[in-house]
Chains A and B, each alone.
Chain A
Amino acid sequence: MSPVVEFCSVSKCFGSKLLVDNVSFKLNPREITTLIGQNGAGKTTIAKMILGLEKSTQGQIKVKDNMKIGYAPQKLDFNFNMPLNAGSLIDILAPSRIGKEVSELINFADFDNIRKVDISELSGGQLQKLVLAGTLMNQPDLVILDEPTQYLDVTSQQEFYRLLKQIKETTGLTVFLISHDLFTVMKNSDQVICINGHVCCIGKPNEASNNLDFKNALSEIGFYVHSHDHVHNH
Chain B
Amino acid sequence: MRRFAALIETLDTTNKTNKKVEALANYFQEAPKTDALWAVALLSHRRPSRPVTTTLMRAWAAELAELPEWLFEESYHIVGDLAETIALLVHKEGTASPPSLKDCIEDIIALKPKTEEEKKNYILNQWKSLAHFERFVFNKILTGGFRIGVSQKLMTRALSKAVGVDETILAHRLMGQWSPLNTTFDRLILHPNPEDQISQPYPFYLAYPIEEDTFFTKEDAKDWNVEHKWDGMRAQLILRKGKHFLWSRGEELFTDKFPELELLTKQLPSGTVIDGELIPFKDNNIGNFQDLQKRIGRKTVSQKLQKDIPIVLMAYDLLELDGKDLRELPLWKRQQQLKALLKNTIYPKAPLLLSEVYCLSTWDQVRKEREKAAEKRSEGLMIKQREAAYGVGRKKGGWWKWKSDPKSIDAVLTYAMRGHGRRTNLYTDYTFALWNKGELVTFAKAYSGLTDAEIKKLDQFVKQNTLDRFGPVRQVKPSLVFEIAFEGIAPSSRHKSGIAVRFPRISRWRHDKKMEDANCLDDLKQLLP
Q: Report whether chain A binds chain B.
A: no
